[in-house]
Amino acid sequence: MMTITEKIFAAHLAGGSGGEQEVHPGQLINARVDFVLANDVTAPIAISEFKRIGAKNVFDCERVTFVPDHFAPQKDIKAAEQCKMLREFSRGYGLKYYFEVGRMGVEHALLPEEGLVLPGDLIIGADSHTCTYGALGAFATGVGSTDVASAMAAGELWFKVPESMKFIYSGKFQKWVGGKDLILHTIGDIGVDGALYRAMEFEGEAIRSLPMHARLTICNMAIEAGGKSGIIVPDDITMQYVKGRAKREFKFYSSDPGAVYAETREYDASKIPLTVSCPSLPSNTKPAAELSNIGIDQVVIGSCTNGRLEDLREAAQILKGRKVNPNLRLLVIPATQRIYMEAMKEGLFEIFVEAEAVVSTPTCGPCLGGHMGILAKGERALATTNRNFVGRMGHPESEVYLSNPAVAAASAVLGRIGTPEELGL
pLDDT digits (tens, 9 = 90+) for 353-388: 999 999 999 999 999 999 999 999 999 999 999 999
pLDDT at 17: 56
pLDDT digits (tens, 9 = 90+) for 22-58: 999 999 999 999 999 999 999 999 999 999 999 999 9
Please state the rounded mean pLDDT for residues 162-170. Answer: 98
Q: Are the beta carbons of 310 and 176 closer than 8 angstroms?
A: no
Q: Are the beta carbons of 303 and 334 closer than 8 angstroms?
A: no
Q: Are the beta carbons of 294 and 279 closer than 8 angstroms?
A: no
- Mean pLDDT for the chain overall: 97
> Residue 18's pLDDT band (boundaries 50, 70, 90)?
low
**Domains 4-267 and 275-423 fall in the same CATH topology:** yes
Cite the DSSP H helix spans in 170-259.
Answer: 179-190, 205-208, 212-220, 236-242
pLDDT at 20: 62
Give the SS3 label for residue 183: helix
pLDDT digits (tens, 9 = 90+) for 269-280: 999 999 999 999
pLDDT at 15: 79
pLDDT digits (tens, 9 = 90+) for 212-234: 999 999 999 999 999 999 999 99
Confidence check: pLDDT of 164 > 60: yes
- Beta strand 198-203 with 163-170: parallel, antiparallel or unpaired? parallel
Domain segments of the chain as ranges: 4-267, 275-423
> Residue 16's pLDDT band (boundaries 50, 70, 90)?
low
Confidence check: pLDDT of 340 > 90: yes
Please state the rounded mean pLDDT for residues 60-83. Answer: 97
- Please tell me the pTM assigned to this model: 0.97
User: How far is 152 from 49, CA to CA, in rounded Å?
Assistant: 10
Please state the rounded mean pLDDT for residues 299-305. Answer: 98
CATH number of this structure's domain 4-267, picked from the four choices 3.50.50.60, 3.30.499.10, 3.40.50.880, 3.30.750.24 = 3.30.499.10
pLDDT at 307: 98
Confidence check: pLDDT of 19 > 80: no
Q: Which CATH superfamily is domain 275-423 in?
A: Aconitase, domain 3 (3.30.499.10)
- Beta strand 97-98 with 275-277: parallel, antiparallel or unpaired? unpaired
Sheet holding 97-98, edge to edge: 97-98, 64-67, 35-39, 122-125, 139-142
pLDDT digits (tens, 9 = 90+) for 120-135: 999 999 999 999 999 9
